[in-house]
Amino acid sequence: MTLGSDRIAAIEALNKKSLWLASWMVHHANHIRPNVDGVKVGGHQASSASMAMLLSTLYFGVLKPEDRVAVKPHAAPIFHAIQYLMGRQEKQKLIDFRAFGGAQSYPSRTKDTADVDVSTGSVGLGVAFTAFASLIQDYVRAKSWAKTDRPEGRMIALAGDAELDEGNIYECLLEGWKHGLRNCWWIIDYNRQSLDGVVREGLYDRIEAIFQAFGWTVVTLKYGALQRAAFAEPGGDKLKSWIDNCPNDLYSALMFRGGAAWRERLTDAIGDQGEVSALLARRSDAELAELMANLGGHCAESLLEQFNAAGSDTPTVFIAYTVKGWGTPLAGHKDNHAGQMTSAQIEQLRAAHKIRDGHEWDRFEGLENPEELQSFLDAVPFNTKASRRLSSAAVPTIGPQFLGTGATSTQAAFAKILDAYAKSDSALSERIITTSPDVTVSTGLGAWVNRRNLFAPKEKVDLFQKEAIPSTQKWRFTPSGQHMELGIAEMNLFLMLGAAGLSHSLFGERLLPVGTLYDPFISRGLDALNYACYQDARFLLVATPSGVSLAGEGGAHQSIASPLIGMAQDGLASFEPAFADELAIITDWAFDYMQRTGDARPDLADWPRDVTGGSVYLRLSTRTLEQPPRPVTPALSEGIIRGAYWLNPPTPQCEVVLAYQGVLASEAIEAAARLGGDRRNVAVLAITSADRLNAGWQGSVRARMHGDHTPSHIEQLLAQVPNKIGIVTAIDAHPATLSWIGSVCGHRTIALGVEHFGQTGTVQDLYRHFGISSDDIVRAAKQFASF
Ligand SMILES: Cc1ncc(C[n+]2csc(CCOP(=O)(O)OP(=O)(O)O)c2C)c(N)n1
Ligand SMILES: [Mg+2]
C-alpha cells in the first residue's frame, strides 16, 4: 500500500480498525468489565457497523475542521473509535464506555471529552439541529460585526433511516426551505432496519420525493464499486435487476446467512442463464458474500466520489444503502439492533481482524504499515486543528432597561424593555437575535422587529408599507435584520434557540437568542427544549401569556404545569415576575447569566449554576397589575434574582405568611390588607423564582453535608418567621411549585394553585373556581390564625 496515492486503502484499513474497536468496546462493556449491579449495559454493535464506512470516509477523507457533525446516537461506539484513532479520544474512555466518566452511550457535547459537535440521543433532533445550525451560520456571516476570515462549514447529519419517522424532520424541512437552507448534508444510513425490525418496502421512493419537493438534491448511493464492476460483466444486468427487486427482508436474511445461501438463492432465481451462472461461478462463497454486501454505503471509493462531487448551495441528502451489522456476524439479522455478538462471534471477528489477546485496544493491531497509517492520520484535514470548539468573549450587559410605568402586565413590560434594547446602540443589542413560531406580535416582539428588522440573506421590502397600507408592523427583511420568523412549530423554535445558543462555540460569534411563545405550548416542543439545554445552549425563553389568568382563552391555552417544567429542567433558570421592575432586573441579569462559563463546585454537583450559567425562562402574563412605587435598591435586586424578597417583612406580631409567585401578587396583597388591616401581622413574601429558591436550598442542604453551613436564601428569609406561624402559598399554576417551602424550616403550609384544566370566564370567575382568589387566600390564612 502506498499512502497518499491510495487514500481509499488507508480509509478501508482504518475503517476495519474502527469496526473492531467499536465492536470490542461494546463487548468489553457488557461481557468483560465486571457487572456489579446486574443491570444491562448495552451498546449498538450492528448500528455502528452499518455506519462504519460512512463515518470513516467522512472523518478520514472528507471533513474539514469547520464542518459540524451530528452522529446518529447509536453510532456512538464507531464515532468514539474513530476519534481515538485520530488521537482525539483517550483509550481509557473507550475501556470505560458507558461506565461512570467513560465515553458516552450517545455522543454528547457536554459529557464527552471527545470532539462532539452536536449531541444526539433523541432520534430526529440532531438531524434537524444541523439545518438550524446552518441557518445560524448564514445569519452570523451576514453581520458586519462577524469575523470574516473563518471558512464556512457544512452542517452534516448522519441519520438512521428510521429517524425519518420523526415528525420534527418534516417541520424542519419546511422551515429550511423558507429560509433558503444551504451548507447542509443529511446522510441516511439506509439499512432498512429500525429497532424492531425491517422497514416497509418502497420507502426509498417516498423519501426521495419528499426531499425533492423541498428543493434538496438527492444522491443515491446504492451500489459499491465491486457491484458496479460486476454489473459490467456479462450477465451483470440480470444481477443488478435481481438486487433492485429483492425485498428488504430477504436481502437482510441472506446477508445474515452468508455466501453459500446467496449462491443458492441467486442460482435458483437467475442462475439458469449462462452468463449469470458464470458470473457467480467466478466467485467463491466468501467473495460472493463480499459482493452482495458491497452496497454504496460500505464502499469508500463510491462515497468519496459522491461526497467530493457535492456542492454546498443546495441542501443535499445522501441515501446510502447499507447492511445493519455489516462486516460482523450480526449482519442483516432482524433482531440485531440491541443484539450483541456472542463470545464465539466476537472471537470469529477477532480472528478475521488478526487481534492478539491483550492487544484489543492497540491502534494498529492486525493492520499492515502502521507508520504509514499514522502519517496518513496526521495529515487528515479534520485532524489538523487541536480543538474545533470556538469561543467568543462575553458581551457586557447594559443594566436594567426599566421604564417607569403605571399599571402594566409583564408581557407589555417585556415589549417595552425589548424596545429599549432595540433603541440602545450597544454591542449587547447587536448580538440579540429574536425568534418566534408565528407569535411574534402577540408575544410582544412587534416593536423590537420594527426597529431591528427581520433577517433574510437578501433584502426584501414590506409590501404593505410600500403600498402605503397603514399597519403598526413594519416587516422589512434584510441581512442585518435580527429577527428570525418561524412557522407554527414549537420544536423548530427550540431547535433554533439551541443552534443560536451555541453560536459562540460552533461559529465563534456570540449570539443572545430570545425566543417567545405561548406558555402552554412549551410542552409541544419540550423534548427539543430539553435537548437544547442538554447541549448547554444559551438562550432566553419568554413564555407569554400563561395560566388561567388568560381567562377568556379557556383550557386549551391556559398553562398549569409550566412552572414545574421550569423547575425540573436542568440548564434552565425560570422566573415568574409580577412587576415590571422585577422583569427589567431579571432580563439584565439573564443576558449575563447566559454568557457565564465557569467550573461548578464539585461538592455541589451543578448547583447553584450561578458559576456555570445557563438559559433562562420567563413566565409572563397579560394581566395588568398596579405597580409598587419603589426605588430599586441593590437588596431588592438581589432578592429578585435569588428568587424572593419580603414585600411585607414579618414583624414580631406576625401571624401568617402569604407567599405568591407571579400575577397572584394582587390577590396576596389584597388578602394581606383584609387580614391584617394596619396591624402589620401578615407578612407577604414575593417569589420571583421558585426554581432558583429551590435550587439554592437544595444546594445548601448538600453543602451542609460537606461542612459548609451557609444558609440558602429561602432559609435566611424564613429564619425570621417563628415556627408556629403558617404559610399560605398561591400561584396561578400547579400548587406543588411552592408547596415545598413548608419543608424548609418546618412551617405548616397550605398551597393554593390550579390542578385542573382551565375554563373560560373572567379572571375573578376563574380564580374563585380554582380557589386562588383573595377570598380563598384569606380563608386559607384563617386556618392558621384567629383573625
Ligand atoms: C425519540 C426517540 N425514540 C425512541 C428511541 C429509541 N431508539 C433508538 S434507535 C431506534 C431505531 C433506530 O433505527 P434507525 O434510525 O434506522 O437506526 P439503525 O439502528 O438502523 O442504524 C429507536 C426507536 C430514541 N433513541 N429516541
Ligand atoms: Mg435503520
Interval 46-78: pLDDT, tens: 999 999 999 999 999 999 999 999 999 999 999
pLDDT at 452 over 70: yes
Region label for 327, one of left (φ > 0), alpha (ψ between -120 and 50) or beta (otherwise): left
Residues 6 or more apart whose Cβ sits within 8 Å of residue 474: 449, 450, 462, 465
| Index of the ligand 1 atom closest to the CA of residue 164 | 15
Mean pLDDT (the chain) is 94
pLDDT number for residue 481: 98
pLDDT at position 608: 63
pLDDT band for position 606 (50/70/90)?
A: very low
Cα–chain-centroid distance for residue 773? 39
Ligand 2 centroid–CA 190 distance in Å is: 6
pLDDT attached to residue 192: 87
Q: Is 192 in the pocket of ligand 1 (CB under 6 A)?
A: no
Atom nearest to 527 CA in ligand 1: 1
Nearest CA residue ID for atom 13, ligand 1: 194
User: Distance (Å, rounded) from C-alpha 467 to C-alpha 85?
Assistant: 62
Is any ligand 1 atom within 6 A of the Cβ of residue 613?
no
pLDDT at 544 over 50: yes
How many other C-beta atoms lie within 10 A of the C-beta of residue 545?
26
pLDDT at 4: 43
What value does the mean pLDDT take over residues 514-520? 98
Strands (DSSP E) found in 549-609: 572-575
In the chain, what percentage of residues exceed pLDDT 90?
Answer: 85
Distance 108 CA to ligand 2 centre (A): 21
Decide whether any atom of ligand 1 lies within 6 Å of the 691 Cβ: no
Ligand 1 atom closest to the CA of 121, numbered from 1: 25
| pLDDT mean over 593-597 | 95
**Helix pair 45-57, 7-27: axis angle to 10 deg:** 160
Residue 194 Cβ < 6 Å to ligand 1: yes
Query: How high is the pLDDT of residue 272?
Result: 80
Nearest alpha-carbon partner for 496 in 113, 116, 163, 178: 178
Which residue from 53, 74, 193 has its CB within 8 A of the most atoms of ligand 1, so it is best to mutate? 74
pLDDT at 510: 98
> What's the pLDDT tens digit per position in 391-402?
999 999 999 997
Taking the C-alpha atoms of residue 744 and residue 701, their distance in angstroms, rounded to an integer, is: 10
Least confident of 50-54, 385-389, 428-432: 385-389
**What is the pLDDT at residue 498?**
98
Assign 433 to helix, strand or coil: strand
**514 φ/ψ angles, rounded to the nearest 5 degrees:** -125, 120
Q: Could you tell me if the CB of 195 is within 6 A of ligand 1?
A: yes
- From ligand 1's centre to the CA of 338, what distance in Å? 10
Q: Which residues surround ligand 2, an ion (CB under 5 A)?
A: 160-162, 191, 193
From the CA of 123, give the closest atom in ligand 1.
26
Give the closest residue to 432 by CA, choosing from 392, 483, 505, 494.
483
127 C-alpha to center of ligand 1: Å?
Answer: 13
Q: Which position has the grid cell 432580563?
A: 587
For atom 15 of ligand 1, the residue with the nearest CA is: 160
Taking residues 321-349, report their average pLDDT.
92
Nearest CA to ligand 1 atom 9: 195
State whether the beta carbon of 77 lies less than 6 angstroms from ligand 1: no
Q: How far is the CA of 159 from the centre of ligand 2 (A)?
A: 9
Read off the pLDDT of each residue in 534-563 and give the average, rounded to a whole number. 95
Ligand sitting nearest the alpha carbon of 51:
1
Q: Does 707 have pLDDT greater than 60? A: yes
Q: Please work out whether the CB of residue 337 comes within 6 Å of at least one atom of ligand 1.
A: yes
Atom of ligand 1 nearest to the CA of 160: 15
Centre of ligand 2 to C-alpha 256, Å, is 16
Nearest atom (ligand 1) to Cα of 46 = 19
547 lines ligand 1 (CB under 6 A): no
* Residue 323 Cβ < 6 Å to ligand 1: no
Find where cell 414590506 sits: 462
Give the distance (Å) from ligand 2 centre to CA of residue 54: 14
Max mean pLDDT among 167-176, 309-318, 675-684 falls in 167-176
- The CB of 123 under 6 Å from ligand 1? The reply is yes
Contact 455, 430 (CB under 8 A): no
Burial 356-374 (b: 16+ CB within 10 A, else e): eeeebbebbbbbebeebbe
Q: Find, among 408, 388, 327, the residue nearest to 666 by Cα.
A: 408
Residue 379 to residue 87: CA distance in whole angstroms:
12
Distance CA 547, CA 544 (A): 9
Q: Which atom of ligand 1 is nearest to the CA of 50?
A: 21
E-only strand ranges, 163-255: 184-190, 217-221
Q: What is the pLDDT of residue 254?
A: 93
Backbone angles phi, psi at 27, to 5 degrees: -60, -45
Inter-residue contact 535 to 498 (CB < 8 Å): yes
DSSP state of 110: T
pLDDT of residue 513: 98
Dihedral angle over CA of 567, 569, 571, 573, nearest 10: -30
Nearest residue (by CA) to ligand 1, atom 19, is 47
pLDDT tens, 77-124? Answer: 999 999 999 999 999 999 999 999 999 999 999 999 878 999 999 999
Distance in angstroms (rounded) separating the CA atoms of residues 787 and 404: 37
Give residue 639's pLDDT band: very low, low, confident or very high (50, 70, 90).
very high
Pocket-testing residue among 186, 191, 195, 530, ligand 1, by greatest number of atoms within 8 A of Cβ: 195
CA 168, 170, 174, 179 torsion-angle sign: positive
Give the mean pLDDT of 488-496.
Answer: 97
pLDDT at position 605 over 80: no
- pLDDT (average), residues 563-592: 97
329: cis peptide before it, omega within 30°? no
CA distances from 707 to 89, 274, 320, 603, 703 (A): 37, 85, 57, 10, 6
Which atom of ligand 1 lies at the shortest distance from residue 195's CA? 11
* pLDDT of 468 above 90: no
Going by pLDDT thresholds of 50, 70 and 90, the confidence category of residue 386 is: confident
What ligand 1 atom has the least distance to the C-alpha of 75? 21
- CA of 44, closest atom in ligand 1: 19
Residue 190 near ligand 1, beta carbon < 6 Å: no
The pLDDT score that the predictor gives to residue 391 is 93
Which of 25, 18, 105, 30 lies closest to 61 in space, CA to CA? 18
pLDDT the model gives residue 363: 97
pLDDT of residue 3: 41
pLDDT at 129 over 50: yes
Query: Of all residues in the chain, what percent are helix, strand and coil, respectively (each to 5)?
Result: 45, 10, 40
Alpha-carbon radius of gyration of the chain: 30
Identify the weakest region by mean pLDDT among 7-21, 185-199, 769-783.
185-199
From 354-358, 383-387, 727-731, the region with the lowest mean pLDDT: 383-387
When pLDDT is cut at 50, 70 and 90, the band that residue 214 belongs to is: very high
Q: How far apart are CA 724 and CA 781, in angstroms?
A: 13
* pLDDT given for residue 271 in this prediction: 83
Confidence of residue 1 (pLDDT cuts 50, 70, 90): very low
Section 629-637 average pLDDT: 94
Q: What is the number of alpha carbons within 13 Å of residue 182 lying toward its C-beta?
A: 11
Assign 220 a pLDDT band (cuts: 50, 70, 90): very high
Task: For residues 537 and 523, give the distance between their C-alpha atoms in angstroms, rounded to a whole number.
Answer: 19
